[in-house]
Chain A
Amino acid sequence: MIEVVNPGRWTTIQDRGRPGRERFGIPPGGAADWFAAAVANRLVGNHLDAAVLECTAAGPSLRFDSERVVAVTGAHAGDIETWVPHVMNRGSTLEVGAIGPGLRTYVAVRGGIDVPIVLGSRSFCQRGAFGGGFGRPLARGDRFAAGAMIDGAPLSNAWPDGHRLSIGSPWEVRVLGGPHADAFDRTALPRLTAVACRVSPELDRMGLRLQTPGVHLQADEILTTPVTGGAVQVTPSGEMIVLLADHPTTGGYPVIATVITADLPLLAQARPGDTVRFRQVDPAEADRARRRLEGWLELDT
């Protein structure tokens, strides 16, 4: 078993989420930085569907009552060596500690975190208060077991530097225009991509707000439509909301642009006060960028 000695600021159990259940109003969920979570699983030899811990801003302390291989990826964390498998000895404690640069750090344990599957996933869904083993973020004294979601041996080396995303502000995030390009005048997206946006303090797994000094985008509300992760919504006051993994499934604000899949991990790591710059790309570049990350995950390192 693994026992939570200190839960950290906001630590939740996440896997690849429950996509396909949006028709019930259920957010897709899953690790906000899908790439770091996948690498953590690869490092310990897990199936990519295995559940990991997503730690936010300040990480947990976890006591292991039997020997276990673990890996910590994503944002920099305390004094732990990240992006490399470690053996936790019986009775030892993993202290993730303060997190940053970046916001979210992932802890994979060999075999995956074994909590019940709810609606196709082990991920905690905050809005519905279900999943994630406890229907809430981890608390002191919680205990959970490692499972059997094993796909191979743990990797013997650190994840190559050249196959990681560089973490730190300013974040350059690529977007495709739309889908509601028609709701804006033609200068709107070029004006947005020309400025530095600042990440507001209100931020969670549903989305982050951006302040865009010097550019005001005018847009009326639209009839409620389905939305996707990475959607950049513009509110009537001109504020920007970028949707993350636990986003509402529908929205009434027009979406000026959508962050490409390959750059969602960057957005998941942005902290309040950080700078985000959007860059518009074409669909071919979005596809290349996504395939590049997927290719890294398939490599034998």
Chain B
Amino acid sequence: MWQIAAAGDRALLVTISSVIEPAVLAQVLSLDRALQERRPHGLISTLTAYGSLLCHYDPAVIERDGLAGEIRAFEGRLDASVPTGSVVAVPVRYEGPDLAEVAAKTNLTAAAVLELHAGREYLVYCIGFAPGFTYCGIVDDRLVLPRLASPRTRVPAGSVGIAGSQTGIYAVESPGGWNLIGRTDMRLFDPAADPPARFKPGDRLRFVPVT
């Protein structure tokens, strides 16, 4: 059963599930598409992340209960096939400031960390937090680590990090608490581009080691 809760007086948060799973993401993206295609009157914009979707609406046009009802009508009626787009190669120099520490904490060599991280395909679960920040999953169990105890105040754009079962790319300089293992020169956010973010949820990517 989806949970639909008020997020203030102009938005509704739809929670489909609280697990990181391709099938859950597929449901969320399918709901997002359905809402774009058959846009309820008064719906302004939507935003997805992992298992949930936020709807900003104009309360002068639609009441929250009416919108919740229109969203609820999609439950159980969505195509939930997992996205299968082409796989984008993201070149990474594996020389991040936390690489040695990650290797030590995981009882692996730096080369093994690289191999495990670059050795699989990832699904983009969310663009969020900061402009273009790309949340991907799921990393190999052997690389699962908590966030840094104290976050850095400045993480450079292009940094590739891991945290929990996720891996992510910082698209712009920002504070951050992920374990930084590499860096890419790929530009992931450009305010002059359309769309401004290189990736969107449902995209697939692979990290390719470069020197």
- Residue interface mask A117-153, B partner, CB < 8 A = 1: 0110000010111110000000000000000000000
Q: Report B-chain residues with C-beta under 8 Å of the C-beta of A223.
A: 18-20, 50-52
Q: Which of A280-301 contact B (CB under 8 A)?
A: 283, 286-287, 290
Question: How many residues on the B side are at the interface (Cβ–Cβ under 8 A)?
Answer: 47
Cα A230 to Cα B8 in complex, Å, equals 8
Query: Is A181 an interface residue when CB atoms closer than 8 A count as contact?
Result: yes
- Residue interface mask B1-16, A partner, CB < 8 A = 1: 0010111111101010
A250 and B49 contact, CB distance less than 8 A: yes
Task: List the count of A-B residue pairs having beta carbons below 8 Å apart.
Answer: 141
CB distance from A109 to the nearest CB of B (A): 25
Which among A22, A231, A258, A260 is the interface contact of B47 at CB below 8 angstroms?
A: A22
CB distance from A65 to the nearest CB of B (A): 30
A22 and B18 contact, CB distance less than 8 A: no
A250 and B191 contact, CB distance less than 8 A: no
A178 and B171 contact, CB distance less than 8 A: no
Which among A222, A224, A258, A260 is the interface contact of B135 at CB below 8 angstroms?
A: A224
Question: How many residues on the A side are at the interface (Cβ–Cβ under 8 A)?
Answer: 45
A20 and B9 contact, CB distance less than 8 A: no
A130 and B191 contact, CB distance less than 8 A: yes
B174 and A225 contact, CB distance less than 8 A: no
Q: Which of A259-292 contact B (CB under 8 A)?
A: 259-261, 283, 286-287, 290
B126 and A224 contact, CB distance less than 8 A: yes
- With contacts A25-B132, A224-B49, A290-B9 taken as known, whether A19 is within 8 angstroms of B54 at the C-beta atoms is no
- Residue interface mask B187-203, A partner, CB < 8 A = 1: 00101100111001000
- Residue interface mask A171-194, B partner, CB < 8 A = 1: 000001011111000000000000
CB distance from A7 to the nearest CB of B (A): 22
Query: Is B122 an interface residue when CB atoms closer than 8 A count as contact?
Result: no
Q: Report A-chain residues with C-beta under 8 Å of the C-beta of B174.
A: 127
Cα A290 to Cα B44 in complex, Å, equals 17
**Chain B CB within 10 Å, residue with most, of A26, A125, A250:** A250
B56 and A179 contact, CB distance less than 8 A: no
- With contacts A25-B171, A258-B6, A261-B8 taken as known, whether A248 is within 8 angstroms of B130 at the C-beta atoms is yes
Q: Report B-chain residues with C-beta under 8 Å of the C-beta of A180.
A: 5
Query: Is B109 an interface residue when CB atoms closer than 8 A count as contact?
Result: no
Nearest B residue to A178 via CB reads B5
Q: Report A-chain residues with C-beta under 8 Å of the C-beta of B13.
A: 179, 225-226
Q: Report A-chain residues with C-beta under 8 Å of the C-beta of B50.
A: 223-225
B18 and A129 contact, CB distance less than 8 A: no
Q: Report B-chain residues with C-beta under 8 Å of the C-beta of A20.
A: 44-45, 56
Q: Which of B69-119 contact A (CB under 8 A)?
A: none
Nearest A residue to B201 via CB reads A23
Q: Report A-chain residues with C-beta under 8 Å of the C-beta of B44.
A: 19-20
Q: Report B-chain residues with C-beta under 8 Å of the C-beta of A227.
A: 7, 54
Query: Is A228 an interface residue when CB atoms closer than 8 A count as contact?
Result: yes
Q: Report A-chain residues with C-beta under 8 Å of the C-beta of B192.
A: 118
Which residues from chain B sit less than 8 Å from chain A, CB to CB?
3, 5-11, 13, 15, 18-20, 44-54, 56, 59, 64, 126-133, 135, 171-174, 189, 191-192, 195-197, 200
The 8 sampled A-B contact pairs (Cβ below 8 Å) are A20-B56, A23-B46, A223-B19, A224-B129, A225-B52, A226-B7, A283-B6, A290-B9
Which residues from chain A sit less than 8 Å from chain B, CB to CB?
19-26, 118-119, 125, 127-131, 176, 178-182, 222-231, 248-251, 255, 258-261, 283, 286-287, 290
